[in-house]
Amino acid sequence: MKINKNFDNLVPNYLFADVAKKTAEFAKANPDKKIIKLGIGDVTLPLAPVVVEAMKKGAEDLAHKETFKGYPDYEGYAFLREAIANYYKGFGVTVSADEIFVSDGAKSDCGNIGDIFDKDNTVLVTDPVYPVYVDSNIMAGRKIVYASSDESNGFAAMPDDSVKADIIYLCSPNNPTGAAYNYEQLKAWVDYANKNDAIILYDSAYEAFITEDLPRSIFAVEGARKCAIEICSLSKTAGFTGTRCGYTIIPKELERDGHNLYSIWYRRQATKFNGVSWPVQCAAAAVFSEEGQKQIKKNIEYYQENARIISSALDELGIYYTGGKNSPYVWLKCPNNMGSWEFFDLLLKEANVVGTPGEGFGENGAGYFRLTSFGDRENTIEAVERLKKLIKSL
């Protein structure tokens, strides 16, 4: 038998596994040190009370014959899909409940959606890039090209008409840079995709953090229904990192190569995915209720304040950064022209603070660093003070 040799083309370790290993080694060698982690984008606040109650009720339903649920619908229960569609309507975007697929998270769908596309397609990603977009396509053996995000364009890469791509991954607000596209910028990508008969895979996992007048969905852009699939998650919106629930939206009219993409994805899901559990879908629907929106907004505001605290410190230090305003991530330039892993080691050793080296997100991440606002408030304030002290001493 033979193994998929495309795995040989991956970097040896997933970025966050390397970060975790280095952090664990330092902690073991320095048990007396208080390490503050602002690296991985994991939430710290508990689920909203209304969400927890809905999950409890969903679990109780499974204890009684009259309300017991077995296999869910492949595309998710109608009540949840309708709740998501109404949520989009709340910020002026029309999607049908019949175009929504409920999943166990955006990361899964961002990787799995490639199943419906031929391996000979060329994939375009922005650099820096969320590693899953790259790794999942390397595993499939696809050619990958990069659109450069850097200081010159505010880390918001734009299309180049001289480059031909079939599949385009966009994330806005972006992970890792926190930069968010405006309407005109997204329209340029939509026009490029339609011109090239390409498909945009749009990751909107951080849309709930947008505070300015920016699109919260690719479907707010004219022409997007002809070229885009949107993938979103409740992980950061509602703290579902451990609960696992997200969704993918595929317009019913979206077709390529004589095939309807909604129908192909449904076929794929029916074969490889047995759906999201009843208690989790009940909890997810509660997120989109009036009370649920009020409660999760408080959690989002908590993280947004953490981002403001981090950003204010960088303003004080005169350090260039993006993000922090419409995103839970702050993407900063390493001081004194340090390399990103060099700064990681210094920050961990001298300040006992963990961040994420930008180099792990691509070539344009070299010399940059990502901090997350998902930490505890007191720890965030302490970490920022340590960071300021360290940088001022350099």
Percent of the chain clearing pLDDT 90 (strictly above)? 96
Contact predicate 309/384, CB 8 Å: yes
Per-residue pLDDT reduced to its tens digit, 1-44: 999 999 999 987 778 888 989 999 999 999 999 999 998 889 99
Alpha-carbon distance 334 to 341, whole Å?
10
Tokens representing 225 are 């229904």
Phi, psi of 76 (to 5 degrees): 100, 155
Tell me which H or E stretch contains 270.
helix 261-272
Domain ranges of the chain: 5-47+292-393, 49-289
Please tell me the predicted confidence (pLDDT) of residue 250. 98
Q: What is the mean pLDDT of residues 158-183?
A: 98
Alpha-carbon distance 335 to 317, whole Å?
10
| Predicted TM-score of the model (pTM) | 0.96
Per-residue pLDDT reduced to its tens digit, 105-148: 999 999 999 999 999 999 999 999 999 999 999 999 999 999 99
Name the strands in the sheet holding 356-357, side by side, starting at the edge strand that comes first in the sequence.
321-323, 329-333, 368-372, 356-357
Alpha-carbon distance 285 to 282, whole Å?
5
As a CATH number, domain 49-289 is 3.40.640.10
Which one-letter DSSP state was computed for residue 349?
I
Strand partners, 75: none
Tokens representing 272 are 């490889």
Neighbours of 274 (CB within 10 A): 10
Above 90 in pLDDT, residue 352?
A: yes
Alpha-carbon distance 62 to 85, whole Å?
27
Tell me which H or E stretch contains 196.
none
pLDDT-derived band at 385 (thresholds 50, 70, 90) equals: very high
Mean pLDDT of the chain: 97
| Backbone dihedral region for residue 205 (phi beyond 0: left; psi -120 to 50: alpha; all else: beta) | alpha
CATH class of 5-47+292-393: alpha beta
